[in-house]
Amino acid sequence: MSRKTVYSILSAVILIAIYSYDLYSEKGKAEQVVNQGASTKEDTNEYFLPTSTTNQIVHHEGYSLSYSEQHEQAEWVAYELKKSHLSNTNFKRPYFEVDKMVKTKAAHWKNYKKSGYDRGHLCPAGDRKYSKAAHDETFLTSNISPQTHSFNAGIWNRLEQKTRYWASKYDGVFVVSGGVLKKGLKTIGEEKVSVPNQFYKVIIDNNSSKTKMLAFLMPHEDSGKPLYEFVVSVDEVEELTGIDFFPELEDIKENKLEASSSYRDWSF
């Protein structure tokens, strides 16, 4: 065998070895991305998801929720509202649809018909205008709760608009919303959908140099009061609902932030 032939064979072996190494390396990176994808979706950072008292968490593309079969609605709906999500695009309102991903069967929208209550969004359609699919996804019945029109179109709407302001100012926030669900609430419809007496919204800004939280607890009635008058500690909402809102945060940081009802660091 000539020296030239030996060099050609060695060169071929080296090229095969390099190609195999690159292929194996890329496969490992792909597996790592898949594993990470199990904990973080494109439009919802699951790191900030609360605990579920019902053991029925449903993940949609633009938000996640914990469904309460007892009350026929979500005990919480959580989503990340990024600055890039904010849009003035107006999509046509779709019809409400039953959420087929709820294993115990979500309540039908007909429960609200002639009840005197709005189908109040927990993840607002206005927070999901970055695509038609994301917008339309908010019209699943697992994302609504009975709200009087004056509350839904009044102070609750003001809080939703302020949340969008903070998402723009702080380059994104994480939002958790729901009604305070407990025994003895008034119900509507054949499926007995509970009507909460109070609604809450918990917001965390983890993008600024200093992590901060803000919680609101509102009676189910419209009000002309400024929003800051409804600020409470996250601990207070947790005590009312039995939900642990940010269990993945470092304990010392979580305890300090959740005990505070200060809105000093938030721009009203």
Per residue in 12-36, pLDDT (tens digit) is 544 444 444 443 443 333 333 222 2
Q: Is 53 exposed, middle or buried (0-12, 13-18, 19+ CB in 10 A)?
A: middle
Cα separation, 57 vs 199, in Å, equals 20
Q: What is the pTM of this model?
A: 0.83
State the pLDDT at residue 205. Answer: 93
Collapse the DSSP code of 76 into the 3-class scheme (helix H, G, I; strand E, B; otherwise coil) and give the result.
strand
pLDDT, position 236:
97
Going by pLDDT thresholds of 50, 70 and 90, the confidence category of residue 9 is low
| Closest listed residue to residue 138, CA positions, set 130, 20, 264 | 130
Catalytic residue among 121, 135, 149, 220: 121
- CA nearest 68: which of 181, 219, 217, 197? 181
Quick one: how far is CA 59 from the chain centroid? 9
Q: What is the mean pLDDT of residues 113-119?
A: 97
The pLDDT, as a whole number, for residue 46 is 64
Out of 171-180, 207-216, 229-238, which region has the weakest mean confidence (pLDDT)?
207-216
Give yes or no for a contact between 233 and 260, defined as CB atoms under 8 angstroms apart: yes
121 is annotated as an active-site residue: yes
Q: 4-13, 163-172, 182-191 — which is least confidently predicted?
A: 4-13
Distance of CA 95 to the CA centre of its chain: 22
Q: Which pLDDT score, from 0 to 100, does residue 11 have?
A: 52
- Nearest residue to 176 (alpha-carbon basis) of 116, 100, 243: 243
β-sheet with 198-205: strand ranges across: 57-59, 64-68, 73-81, 173-179, 198-205, 212-219, 231-232
Quote the CA–CA distance of 139 and 56 in Å, as a whole number.
19
Higher pLDDT, 247 or 140: 140
- Averaged pLDDT score across all residues of the chain: 86
Q: How far apart are CA 119 and CA 169, in angstroms?
A: 29
